[in-house]
Structure 1
Amino acid sequence: MDTPQRPAAVEIHHPQPITLHPPTAPLVPIQPGPLPAVQSVQLPDGRIVTGYALTPTPAPAPIEPRPAVSRTAVNIALGGIGFGAVCGGLVLLTTFIAALAAFIHQLIILAAVIFGGWIAVQVFSAGGHRSSGTTVNIRKAVIKRNHFHG
């Protein structure tokens, strides 16, 4: 009769580090952390696989949905558009100020010419202030043989 086979005894081996050369400097003792537990798994064909237990990695946090366009980008774009509109208005404003200054300059020159002409007419006209001199009224006179008959 066949006797049922019993599984072989499971032996657990802890790995030991292999030192190839003895350390030359004294080592500082470090407190070892907790070692993970060793697990053994028996495969369906009877083989036993031994290894350390792996801790599962945590799932990444869900990513928050972001808007298609950031508010900062929209604000910067709107600011640029507004600045461009203002620059055009400033160019027109400076042009208007320059034209107004030229017009006022022309008015001042025109006033100086008209006022200067008025002063010249007043100074040089016969109806104005007369200087001391002799006035001679010439009437019809008859001149005969170099003799004046008035």
Structure 2
Amino acid sequence: MNNHRTTARETTAVQVHIPTPYPTAAPAPVMPVQPNAVPAVASVVLPDGRVVTGYAIEPTRPEPVAAKPAVSCTAVNVAIGGAGFLAVCGGLVLLTSFIAALTAFISQLIILAAVIFGGWIAVQLFSTRGHQGGTTVNIRKAVIKRNHFHS
């Protein structure tokens, strides 16, 4: 008798995945960079008489920083723009007050013309109201001679 039990592990086949490598790109050729000036060769004689020759290494110097002006160009531009804006606003205030004064003057002229014309019309209406028709002539002791009146 076989006491050996079969499990799910034993019955499945083991699959091995082997990763496929990506092809490597060839590195770009490095071009030698020529220095601006050939560095000086220095030779040092050691106390035991040996001579060591090599290039002198100069410490790197930081780039000189350009001197900044005392006032930023942006600040100057903002200040000039603000002065221009204030000048325009002042001109607009003057223009607005001029238009308001001109409007008040024209409205006063219209009111004055209406008062004068209305008064003239009122005088015309009220002066003729007492007479109901034609011209009234009072004739007293008039002598009529040849169609002429003589008083």
Q: TM-score, normalised by structure 1?
A: 0.45
Q: TM-score, normalised by structure 2?
A: 0.45
